[in-house]
Amino acid sequence: MPNKKKVREEMALNGDGGRAEGGLDSDIVISGLSGKLPESSNIEEFKYNLLNGIDMVTDDPRRWEAGIYGLPERMAKMKDEDLEKFDDKFFSVHQKQAELMDPCMRMLLELTHEAIIDAGINPAQLRGSRTGVYIGLSFVETEHEIPNMEPSTINGYCLTGCARAMFANRISYTFDFKGPSFIVDTACSSSLVALSHAYADMRAGRCEYALVAGVNLILKPIFALQFLRLGIVSQDGACKTFDAAANGYARADTCAVVLLQRRSQRSESTPPYSMFAPIQDGFKEQGVTFPDGRQQQRVTQRDVW
């Protein structure tokens, strides 16, 4: 007699009785995590800042002069050293290429390596594997510099270092991944849609592992001015979601990478950060547009039923 509780758990987590298309185990987990965020060089520092109530939205004018063009003085910025430092030799990138490589791409290379290590895997073990790369990305402010370059200085590396199409492909090239590799641009939902694509491809057997990233850097005041003129940026640099005082949102730097793998693949010594459990709210007394907190709570638990 099968264990009914276990069967229910697998059906809830997999959404199809525990099997994905092609008969593959679809119990997929997030096993590795890395990131650089405002005032935080890594996930641990970000966690410390959050838990200790440290405001990472600051008026430090280290990107441009405070108040220029009427821009909000407060925004969430990464540390300068997190943008500037890069070990080009470690990633087999020529110095001339590294100098013209967008800082987003440099960080993605670093954080991909860190996320794999965080999952308890040697990156060399994934070389040649069907590992997919899915990057949520909307704006690359350095690519707008290409038309303004002095023709005599152009060597072609700016194109391979700043074009958005190269971001995912550079990771696949560097780590020798053979799975799907592309960027997703759906504006604010880019990284979540990238995660959805990665999950679907793993369930369908198109890849063995998947790296999913979201990245955004605020580098140019003229670009920031576009958001201001649209009226979507908070002048006081604060998000007041669902509040009557809401007046826009605060823009922020971020670069984060997660590694997805099947639960059966991971080492028991490295417990996962999270599991995937596709689920729908169904009927709610408040109406169709309201989220159901109870379902969201259940989806984070192993026994969702």
pLDDT tens, residue by residue, 196-224: 999 999 999 999 999 999 999 999 898 89
**Is the CB of residue 82 less than 8 Å from the CB of residue 107?**
yes
pTM: 0.81
Position 8 in a domain: yes
Position 144 in a domain: yes
**Average pLDDT of the residues in 11-18:** 40
Measured CA to CA in angstroms, residue 81 lies from 85, 100, 287 at distances of 6, 17, 48
Structural domain boundaries enclosing 82: 4-37+78-218+253-299
276-294 burial code (b ≥16 CB/10 A, e <16): bbeeeeeeeeeeeeeebee
Measured CA to CA in angstroms, residue 242 lies from 210, 249, 258, 295 at distances of 34, 12, 29, 21
Position 284 in a domain: yes
Position 84 in a domain: yes
Position 73 in a domain: no
Measured CA to CA in angstroms, residue 243 lies from 13, 236, 247, 272, 300 at distances of 34, 15, 9, 35, 27
Instruction: Please count the structural domains in the chain.
Output: 1
- Cβ count within 10 A of residue 152: 5
Torsion over CA: 19, 24, 26, 27 (sign): positive
95 in helix, strand or coil?
helix
Predicted pLDDT at 301? 60
Predicted pLDDT at 3? 47
Position 238 in a domain: no
pLDDT tens, residue by residue, 49-74: 999 999 999 999 988 998 899 999 99
73 in helix, strand or coil?
coil
First to last CA, the chain: 20
Position 286 in a domain: yes
CATH of the domain at 136: 3.40.47.10
Position 49 in a domain: no
